[in-house]
A and B are shown apart, each in its own frame.
Chain A
Amino acid sequence: MGTAPHGDKPEPSRRDFLYIATGAVGVVGAALVAWPLVDQMNPDQAALALATIEVDIAAVGEGESITVKWRGKPVFIRNRTAKEISDAKAVALSDLKDPVARNDNLPANAMATDDNRSASGKENWLIMLGVCTHLGCVPLGQQGLYGGWFCPCHGSQYDTAGRIRQGPAPQNLEVPKYSFTTDTTILIG
């Protein structure tokens, strides 16, 4: 602080004011410059432009699956067999490691019942991201202890509704936002 010309109590000088004002401008300026430098790392417009795809699922018979690429990630679309559906329905919610549906079409707190995981009114269709919630590998279909999906990297086991049952993955496979535009076409994203 500057020296006080009068009395014992030091008065802030004009120089102190200039120091503080310059410092404040410097901090704000640095933050304003840093913002674009950091934000350029976020997904660009080209990546965001690929945000929706339409998929024709007419050719996918019962017990068959297809994998489509959406936002650079695999999406599993499975036409489940009756046994797979009944297996998934038979699981008690209390047995689940992750009790939340992780379905972007439903409220965030929806429970992980089979109905909340599969397409509404079309329970044979299971549409979800093929990205293991542990470290992002692609699980293998119709394998593992629960006949659902098995991640070869670190051994996560998912059931026939894509719910995590065993292994290091913390969450159920994510169900992306989608809708049926016709009976045999879905719009993902």
Chain B
Amino acid sequence: MDGHSTYTPKSGFAKWFEARLPIVGFIYPSFVAYPTPKNLNYWWNFGAILVFMLVAQIVTGVVLAMNYTPNANLAMDSVEHIMRDVNYGWLIRYLHANGASLFFFSVYIHMLRGLYYGSYKEPREILWILGVIIFLLMIGTAFFGYVLPWGQMSFWGATVITNLFSAIPLVGDAIHTLLIGGFAIDNPTLNRFYALHYLLPFMIAGVVVLHIWALHIPGNGNPTGVDVKSGQDTVPFHPYYTIKDFFGLSVFLLLFAWLVFYVPNYTGEPDNYIPANPLQTPAHIVPEWYLLPFYAILRAIPDKLFGVVAMFSAIAVLAFLPWLDTSRVRSATFRPIYRQFFWIFVICAIGLGYLGSQPPEGGFVIAARILTVYYFAFFLVIMPVVGLLERPKALPTSITEAVLAKNAAAAAKV
């Protein structure tokens, strides 16, 4: 990239260290001098927020693990022990549980940002696919974590989700038994879910490193979708975006603190305070809010196998976006038709989330089917066709020109 700086150690110790482990020289051009487009808006804050949330989840999770017991007879009591006896245990657990919600909230904004501004388009395809892998790992981690308190929702959520694998033809039942380590969800299942819940975040961290690496090769996208053309289009990451990210993070933390201190159980299910009972199912099994759209897609299909296939396809289809979108223009700002379909898609996804929380009866099922059709049509039909037919608005010749034009318009208003 233009203006790519190199680190030159100044002090004697820095030179000695750099010659032996050049890690500062690796970090400096990527996080300090890193040339970043100067027009990033606040939607770009969520990358930094997500890094913060991942670290926060790992830190609170490691501490919780020191007080938790992964045994079917003791798990729920150990969670109550954390809430009542462990010093600040209530705070750490609420931070971890609500942190998961905000982690998903942030990742959805991050994904929609990428979708709107065409962040998946050439040359950022691998970057985008690594993001889809992170999303899958996040879903797995969240699911395993949800099971750990061994309440009614945990137990039956685990039953329903692991049963999805029994839908696989021929080998499904054997795989199901292998996954849960018994004939029904029981202690071996809890034990292995705990091990995986501890493992996956570190895999996420590993893929995040690749994700950032893949980002720093072409550099950040930006709201115009126009490539950086000269050093004039960029500013160094530090201090310009470090300070902007800190500001965004501070506002985000206000929301986090409100959740944790005022409504810590807002996103939770009361049924999960009932100890797991293998002989009785709760009246309605619902996952956490951030998985509801996919749950709605699962239930919209009146067939066990195809329901499962549709649910996984709803995520897998994201990996193919770089090739499904045929438009030459990245940013939806310059795509008047696509932009409307994009917002319908956002409403559709929220609608699926609502339907996933409702009982699977009558009108809810029909609505879920309609929205499921739109969900897939958006990616498989609208994206390829609109990209070919649409006439995009004129792009600015450079980021700097776009910024100056915006400033001139703002000045004219004053």
Contacts and interface: CB of A to CB of B under 8 A. Distances in A.
Which has the most chain A C-beta neighbours within 10 Å: B159, B280, B281? B281
B394 interface: no
Interface residues of A, number: 27
Contacts of B186: 47, 72
Contacts of B218: none
Contacts of A47: 181-183, 186, 188
A94 interface: no
Contacts of B360: 154-155
A68 to B, nearest CB: 9
B190 to A, nearest CB: 12
A67 B177 contact: no
What does DSSP make chain B's interface, helix, strand, loop or mixed? loop
Given A153-B285, A168-B303, A43 B279 contact: no
Interface in A98-155: 130-131, 134-138, 151-155
B307 A168 contact: yes
A61 to B, nearest CB: 21
B302 A168 contact: yes
A42 B281 contact: no
A73 B285 contact: no
A134 B159 CA distance: 11
A131 B303 CA distance: 17
Nearest to A131: B184
A135 B162 CA distance: 8
B160 A135 contact: yes
A44 B307 CA distance: 31
A155 B361 contact: yes
A37 to B, nearest CB: 12
Given A136-B160, A168-B303, A153 B178 contact: no
A42 B303 CA distance: 28
B183 A73 contact: yes
B281 A73 contact: no
A81 to B, nearest CB: 23
A154 B279 contact: no
Contacts of A38: 178
Interface string B262-302: 00000000000000001111111100000000000001001
Contact of A42 (B181, B184, B279, B284): B181
A138 B177 CA distance: 18
B391 to A, nearest CB: 45
Given A44-B181, A72-B185, A135 B164 contact: yes
A137 B278 CA distance: 9
B98 interface: no
Interface of B: 156, 159-160, 162-164, 166, 177-179, 181-186, 188, 192, 278-285, 299, 302-304, 307, 360-361
13 contacts: A47-B183, A69-B278, A69-B279, A72-B278, A74-B278, A130-B279, A134-B163, A136-B160, A137-B281, A154-B360, A155-B361, A170-B303, A170-B304
Interface of A: 38, 41-44, 47, 67, 69, 71-74, 130-131, 134-138, 151-155, 168-170
What 4 A-B pairs have minimum CB-CB distances, sorted nearest first? Answer: A72-B184, A71-B183, A136-B163, A137-B281
